[in-house]
Structure 1
């Protein structure tokens, strides 16, 4: 009887008080014990804060509660104001996009939006004027960044609030060309997200920021954040906003330029890390059956399910969230503005989330490095009889690039290069920064080193056709074979350098000669005068282009109206050059020229036409 009683008691207690594995219940997905989490994060952050990172706010969520919330470094270096995780406000950058997709899915649940319907049915007539393909663009295409839009950076952001327009005006002003057929290429697009937000406005009759405040922020108890700072000037946000910085040299930080956006749904939420943690908690609410975002748990399940994938071994897209193939499947999104970097990562299976917000431009060591340490990496299972890595060698351009206009040249200078290091390993390089990858299944490569810059594209899938790479797919962007070979690009560069040196040296020599002749009261022939003016006009074109490039490198957040004068000058100076070249040819026949003079004039005319041709090819007239 005693033994029977003991057995019954054990059975009852096991039902009332289930035995859980402490290792599973109280660890991060990577296996770090929760009681050791703060020390681990402190030690990790200590290697970067005040050295490569100005300040950071880090919040970790586990099992429906915040288990770590801490600020590091300074929100304001000059005034030594420390970061406070509960109150310091950061720019969330593109994490803001997740609130667009959440709003869309709420309206899908209510039957007001259909993900597979042509977006034209939600937009005013003739709203989109630059579509290249007749194939319909759907809301799902916008979510998956497969609508085919090029990356158009003008009028995206401004250094002051004065230039900010309404969302609809911003969309009309910055409409990009359609470069790809819908559904074929992942080309990350701010325009697509803001267009989806405008559709939310059309469907609901509300400003998008009002919809977010009423249907998401208020439901989650988000009080210290705003979806549109120029309009919703909450004092708690304005007063507690961190200063943004750039790393000018090791341990030296310079204040960044402010960034105000007309297409604000794509990246303008300002808020705290703890507010963002409330969003993370809501995404994992299905664990206890109570979602603050949706009426039905199935809606949350659908939003976090895969909506786009090219290969079962490659993370895809989950209705606007990036999938991450860590130790457990994650859904994530990073954010970058001119002054802030961030990362938001949720592991639904483990009921775990981590938020990292920094006031540091282009930061990756905490935003991605620390996140990787906490979510863990799956041990790669390497298949046998894999294709030789030499098959995937080549040079590729990101699909997220400018196709129309002179900025297209920038992407050729920052191309992705793939080189085989052994039959199953490759090294890829972007902007001169390398990273190593190992092949795990046919044409699937996974990052095999600790370069934090490449964590967002930690898995590559090379799509092949007739033995050639047609497309590289990652969870956040695709890469396409370059249409201009490296030898051709080098030839362009050499030709431009030769033309530049020729015209600048000629201008100096001819100016000195012109002044000497004038002093000696010797007249110039008509041919010599037109030749001199031809060289000066070519120099003027080069100076105009150099100034244009320098201005864009100094601050790419510009309105097109700020640089259009350079385009007009290119037209005017080119027209002048062609007139001078024609007059030189006409007077060439009238004047008695020596063979060296004829050769010199011919070279000047030839270089002028070569310069104009290169400017046309690289679209410096548009």
Structure 2
């Protein structure tokens, strides 16, 4: 018995060590673009012509070389188009570090993540042109022969308009998006039907980015076209645009595999190569592989009102429809970026910009069109450092070629301090899961903590984002100090802030959470719970040692059973927390194939909850029958109460669905 307890002590020590390990997540972007002034921007305010090849190439050469070094990225590819022509298409660094194979913008095949969604929405709009689809029609009308349906949770139906603006009201979910084995890829219909996310808000109310929504739109198109989505894209988009190096096929065709860019992470000064992620829902964009050169052709078609050479993929009116705003997040602040159709508004420096960015665990990309300038920029990187680098490049390019002339405010106006204090709190993205353990990813990494300074500034902090300072432009509207981003707050009829919007992150809405859901409260609750559990384990496991050193009675069978119950519950809760923390750290792998530990954790969480309920009952018995000393009963009661609190905190994180 004593040896068993010693082994348990060793297990607890391992749990504590895991809890203290630093957390890093390599999943989807958590905070979006930073829109801060780039270190690569020119200090000149004189506008430069981006079509001057010599000057433009020299600037890109210098900028990209610094970016690859600063952000620890092996390679990247850039294409710049203007006036219907490719101005620059160039690779930088290595597609394969080991073989020293360089990146070639027209030959090297990259994964571009959700930037590929623009292919999906272009295809959907072809269906609208053909008369097969209508943007304002219930998508269920197109799914009569499919096992995929959208439940009638709300009276308002979900339409393609909602899907194209990410305002359908789905919860966030990664389930079914990736797999470990290409042989496990199933028909898109099966995956969409099996992993349908819940509808958690009425459509058209708020923007909340949805991978599922885009995949559903692609499925609707395929159902009405009597073909697969990948075959449709090959025939109707890739072929007419001469995108010969672009495919959804997994694994890559033999002719493209030797030209595939390898994805890397930087570790201890070295680049660690990774196998490609296997995606299962082509319209979602993750499985699209392409070259920068091919994306240049796509941009030219969109900037040339749907025409590429002698081919036309969209009518001019349809292109304009895709590029115009379809969802305004704040009627009171029309300059706040919203959603076009499929395209995200990305305006900077007063310039109209629409595009999309994409993320996989190792590849980061962004496509930006300047329709009024007839110019487009695309860049892709093969390491996580590209997440920040792409937006720095976009800002630097905009600053250099289309500079801002206005001087931003730097000092808060009168009364700003009081107004700022009213806005302080935690604001969480609506792009979170509401019904699975994946919620922990959204709660922990997509929450912005807003605080007020005595001078009247706001500051924001979030995981994987630097602390930033904001100055009031007018009540409820704040400009980033030293940057080009903007925060906008929505107030209710009582003047209380309910939601927050970010100019640089169009496809998301941040909802103010109550005090008990603030990150500091949740983290404090979990921390106090762990300390309480460790004290309970110490008392339970250390009791034999204490008796040997100081003597004393063994206690009744019921008293010992009560200690065993609370000790077991304490150990289970710590183990459950560690399992789900590790699942969060290894989120991509768990999303592809849940580990045995995660599957066990899903069972143990309910065992621990049942044990906690039992401990509540035993607490009452202990006080009634006078177990132990008064201090012993009090300790038992406190640990049990904190176990209940701990369970509630885990439910807020989605780890314990109740």
TM-score of the superposition, structure 1-length normalised?
Answer: 0.85
SS in 2 for 1:220: coil
Aligned match for 1:117, one of 137, 153, 156: 137
Any stretches of 5+ residues in structure 2 without a counterpart?
A: 1-45
Q: CA deviation at 1:147?
A: 0.5
Aligned residues: 587
Cα separation, 1, equivalents of 2:415 and 2:140 = 45
Query: Does residue 530 in structure 1 map to residue 561 in structure 2?
Result: yes
Cα separation, 1, equivalents of 2:327 and 2:358 = 21
Cα separation, 1, equivalents of 2:460 and 2:545 = 55
Cα separation, 1, equivalents of 2:235 and 2:363 = 26
Asked whether the 8 Å contact 2:540–2:564 carries over to 1, the reply is: no
Q: Which residue of 1 aligns with 2:434?
A: 403
1:274-297 deviations in Å (ceiling 9; x for gaps): 011110111122398967343632
1:130-170 deviations in Å (ceiling 9; x for gaps): 55322111111100011111211233223443443321222
Asked whether the 8 Å contact 2:142–2:220 carries over to 1, the reply is: yes
Q: Which residue of 1 aligns with 2:220?
A: 199
Asked whether the 8 Å contact 1:507–1:532 carries over to 2, the reply is: no
Q: Which residue of 2 aligns with 1:461?
A: 488
SS in 1 for 2:572: helix
SS in 2 for 1:168: helix
Q: Which residue of 2 aligns with 1:255?
A: 273
Q: Which residue of 2 aligns with 1:540?
A: 572
**Residues 1:92 and 1:586: Cα distance change in structure 2 (over 3 Å):** same
Q: CA deviation at 1:445?
A: 4.0
Asked whether the 8 Å contact 1:401–1:408 carries over to 2, the reply is: yes
SS in 2 for 1:449: coil
1:23-67 deviations in Å (ceiling 9; x for gaps): xxxxx9764543301111111112121442221011111222112
Q: CA deviation at 1:499?
A: 2.7
Aligned match for 1:164, one of 185, 202, 208: 185
Q: Which residue of 2 aligns with 1:357?
A: 380
Q: Which residue of 2 aligns with 1:127?
A: 148
Asked whether the 8 Å contact 1:148–1:185 carries over to 2, the reply is: yes
Query: Does residue 321 in structure 1 map to residue 349 in structure 2?
Result: no
Asked whether the 8 Å contact 1:398–1:411 carries over to 2, the reply is: yes
Cα separation, 2, equivalents of 1:440 and 1:598 = 57
Q: Which residue of 2 aligns with 1:343?
A: 366
Q: Which residue of 2 aligns with 1:502?
A: 532
Aligned match for 1:174, one of 167, 171, 195: 195
Structure with more contact order per residue of length (Cα contacts < 8 Å, sep ≥ 6):
2
Cα separation, 2, equivalents of 1:424 and 1:286 = 46
Aligned match for 1:602, one of 632, 637, 655: 637
Cα separation, 1, equivalents of 2:517 and 2:240 = 57
Asked whether the 8 Å contact 1:530–1:581 carries over to 2, the reply is: no
Asked whether the 8 Å contact 1:527–1:591 carries over to 2, the reply is: no
Q: CA deviation at 1:550?
A: 1.2
Q: Which residue of 2 aligns with 1:472?
A: 500
Asked whether the 8 Å contact 1:406–1:620 carries over to 2, the reply is: yes
Aligned match for 1:266, one of 284, 308, 311: 284
Q: Which residue of 1 aligns with 2:242?
A: 221
Aligned match for 1:35, one of 51, 54, 74: 54
Asked whether the 8 Å contact 2:306–2:316 carries over to 1, the reply is: no
Q: Which residue of 1 aligns with 2:258?
A: 239
SS in 2 for 1:152: coil
1:239-286 deviations in Å (ceiling 9; x for gaps): 21111112346x543334632222221122111100111101111223
Q: Which residue of 2 aligns with 1:6?
A: none
Q: CA deviation at 1:185?
A: 0.6
Cα separation, 1, equivalents of 2:558 and 2:317 = 80
Of structures 1 and 2, the larger Rg is shown by 1
SS in 2 for 1:314: coil
**Residues 1:470 and 1:126: Cα distance change in structure 2 (over 3 Å):** farther
TM-score of the superposition, structure 2-length normalised?
Answer: 0.80
Q: Which residue of 2 aligns with 1:77?
A: 97
Cα separation, 1, equivalents of 2:470 and 2:612 = 51
SS in 2 for 1:621: coil
Any stretches of 5+ residues in structure 1 without a counterpart?
A: 1-27
Q: Which residue of 1 aligns with 2:15?
A: none
CA RMSD of aligned residues (A): 3.4
Q: Which residue of 2 aligns with 1:98?
A: 118
